Chain A
């Protein structure tokens, strides 16, 4: 999932300066799972904002609405009914959701409440970690299912740098991705696979020249 976390409240208040009615828009997708922008967080955020503004002598009216997903035009449409008198939408979705709202409501000022962090997963309650750098050309088959692109601090593709010690990366406190790769390949009897020199990555498949697209003619419905 996409993992995100709330921006500092001061920054959010700053971006809402001069607004008197704000729609706080949650998302029931990834950010709900990582406890950053679901229905519950929307409620907490809205009341925190109201309280702060009340104290500052500039009361704020909030409307709360949590969509099933903000990255889906179908659900985004639903928000239209809630926009009466609203001068700003505070999106509690990831950056994709914020942009979808902005695209669908051209007259509306939309600001983010979260910092979108990474594609990752829950390690334990209250701890999320990155797992994929969305590089566009997955090499996990070469590295035993451990991603060197994002889990190695230097994205090394040919083995551990000289800073790996006792399982730790030279950038503490991370685990050394290459220690993990080595251990797994060894236990699966595939060490010799790691002796092959891995070619340089084609970064044009990754973040490179503007937004990437995936086009699937087979599932398109307009014709």
Chain B
């Protein structure tokens, strides 16, 4: 078995400003794309999220993708949603992932199936994300399955992550929900993509008031936007994402919109880095993974610690 503590956990505990990326597994049975992205990204990010059938579209499983990441020398963060598996399957997959060397898991509800390519599917939601977090923690700290039955040996000892969306509503409940996740056992938090800096700062204020920044490592999510059209699309169509008009306008005015998008992202990271309690950034550039090195470099986050 690999060593117990994940690299991600170690770096966060050392106080490094951590950088994670995200790889969207393919809609096929091939792992070479994931390995290729890993090779490309590993000098620039400390860990990589593998999404779990994001937007309810069938893809290579996040655990399998995580194994490809490891084979290519990267550090995986397995995303696990509550949409498709009941507590039996979730725990079984946790055991399986851990047995294969995966150490980081990010627990989330999951996008509703009506967004995906199997809209007639039955969703599961046997557990919700907070109950899943608690399950992963109890497997580790209480050496017990969800039912209470003891795990006699070789319990999975995951570093547990959760997500927070400061841009969804009701705003004031967002911090309470973050607190619930931390109470349930979340150790690191990745936020939804931040575009509205003011609102994020307000969120962090509230989080700090409740001492949450000291109870979990909060990593701020960012996403480079390719052009004004994409920004407008997200503004209109993606629930729980707030893209201020200022960003759309700035992209519209730019000569080279893509370069401007990258520049905006870099500036955001620099700003986020100065917010107390922000312990790292999570760069979401799915289907545009190759831009991550430029962003990390531009934001002055190189070289990465080992």
Give chain A's interface residues, CB within 8 Å of chain B.
153-168, 170-171, 176, 178-179, 182-183, 191, 194-195, 197-200, 203
Q: How far is the CA of A182 from the CA of B176 in the complex (A)?
A: 11
| B192 lies within 8 A of A155 (CB) | no
Q: How far is the CA of A101 from the CA of B176 in the complex (A)?
A: 52
Partner of A163, one of B129, B183, B184, B239: B239
B83 on the A face (CB < 8 A): yes
B303 on the A face (CB < 8 A): no
| B170 lies within 8 A of A182 (CB) | yes
| B180 lies within 8 A of A162 (CB) | no
Q: How far is the CA of A103 from the CA of B33 in the complex (A)?
A: 58
B58 on the A face (CB < 8 A): no
Most chain A CB atoms below 10 A, which of B115, B127, B164, B184: B127
B205 on the A face (CB < 8 A): no
Q: How far is the CA of A195 from the CA of B173 in the complex (A)?
A: 9
Partner of B173, one of A160, A165, A171, A203: A160
Residue numbers in A under 8 Å from B135 (CB-CB): 200
| A162 lies within 8 A of B176 (CB) | no
| A203 lies within 8 A of B240 (CB) | no
Most chain B CB atoms below 10 A, which of A170, A179, A182: A170
Query: Assuming A162-B163, A163-B240, is B168 touching A197 (CB within 8 A)?
Result: no
Q: How far is the CB of B175 from chain A (nearest CB, A)?
A: 10
Q: How many A-B residue pairs have CB under 8 A?
A: 101
CB-defined A-B contacts under 8 Å, sample of 17: A154-B82, A158-B131, A158-B180, A159-B173, A161-B109, A162-B239, A162-B240, A164-B168, A165-B240, A170-B239, A171-B114, A195-B176, A195-B179, A197-B131, A197-B180, A199-B131, A200-B126
Question: Per DSSP, are chain A's interface residues mostly helix, strand or loop, or mixed?
Answer: loop
Interface residues of B in 44-102 (CB under 8 A from A): 82-83, 87
Residue numbers in A under 8 Å from B130 (CB-CB): 158-159, 197-198
Residue numbers in A under 8 Å from B179 (CB-CB): 195
| B239 lies within 8 A of A197 (CB) | no
Q: How far is the CA of A199 from the CA of B146 in the complex (A)?
A: 11
Q: How far is the CB of A172 from chain B (nearest CB, A)?
A: 8
B128 on the A face (CB < 8 A): yes
| A194 lies within 8 A of B173 (CB) | yes
Q: How far is the CB of B142 from chain A (nearest CB, A)?
A: 14
Q: Give the number of chain B interface residues (Cβ < 8 Å).
A: 36
| A200 lies within 8 A of B146 (CB) | yes
Q: How far is the CB of B110 from chain A (nearest CB, A)?
A: 8
| B123 lies within 8 A of A154 (CB) | yes
| A197 lies within 8 A of B134 (CB) | yes
Query: Assuming A170-B239, A183-B170, is B112 touching A159 (CB within 8 A)?
Result: no
Given A164-B170, A167-B169, A200-B135; 17 other pairs, CB 8 A cutoff: A154-B112, A154-B125, A156-B128, A158-B180, A159-B173, A159-B176, A161-B109, A164-B169, A164-B239, A165-B240, A170-B240, A171-B114, A176-B169, A179-B169, A182-B170, A183-B170, A191-B176
Residue numbers in A under 8 Å from B27 (CB-CB): none
Query: Assuming A154-B109, A199-B131, A200-B126, is B87 touching A162 (CB within 8 A)?
Result: no
Query: Assuming A156-B125, A164-B168, A176-B169, is B183 touching A197 (CB within 8 A)?
Result: yes
Interface residues of B in 198-254 (CB under 8 A from A): 239-240
Q: How far is the CA of A154 from the CA of B168 in the complex (A)?
A: 16
Partner of B169, one of A165, A191, A194, A198: A165
Q: How far is the CB of B52 from chain A (nearest CB, A)?
A: 14
For the complex of A and B, list the 7 residue pairs with the smallest distance between their C-beta atoms, beginning with the closest: A162-B165, A170-B239, A158-B130, A163-B239, A162-B240, A156-B128, A159-B177
Residue numbers in B under 8 Å from A199 (CB-CB): 131
| A200 lies within 8 A of B170 (CB) | no
